[in-house]
Amino acid sequence: MLTPKKTIPSLAVAMLALTGCGGDGDTNGTGGSGATGGTGGSPGAGLNATLEAWCMKLVDECNYTYPGVVTTAEECVTFFNTYLLAYYNIDATCEAAFVSYFNCGAALSCPELLADSNSCDSQYDAVFDTCDYAM
The span from the CA of 4 to the CA of 113, in Å, is: 8
Q: Is residue 33 part of a domain?
A: no
Q: What is the pTM of this model?
A: 0.69
Q: What is the pLDDT of residues 9-37, one digit of tens each?
A: 455 444 434 443 333 343 333 333 333 33
Q: Is residue 112 part of a domain?
A: yes
The span from the CA of 78 to the CA of 69, in Å, is: 10
Q: Is residue 59 part of a domain?
A: yes
> C-alpha 133: how far from its chain's center?
14
CB 120 within 8 A of CB 82: no
> C-alpha 83: how far from its chain's center?
7
Burial class (CB in 10 A: 0-12, 13-18, 19+), 54: buried
Q: What is the pLDDT of residues 90-122, one digit of tens each?
A: 899 999 999 999 999 999 999 999 998 999 999
Q: Is residue 7 part of a domain?
A: no
**Total of domains in the chain:** 1
CB 32 within 8 A of CB 18: yes
Q: Is residue 50 part of a domain?
A: yes
Host domain of residue 80 = 40-133
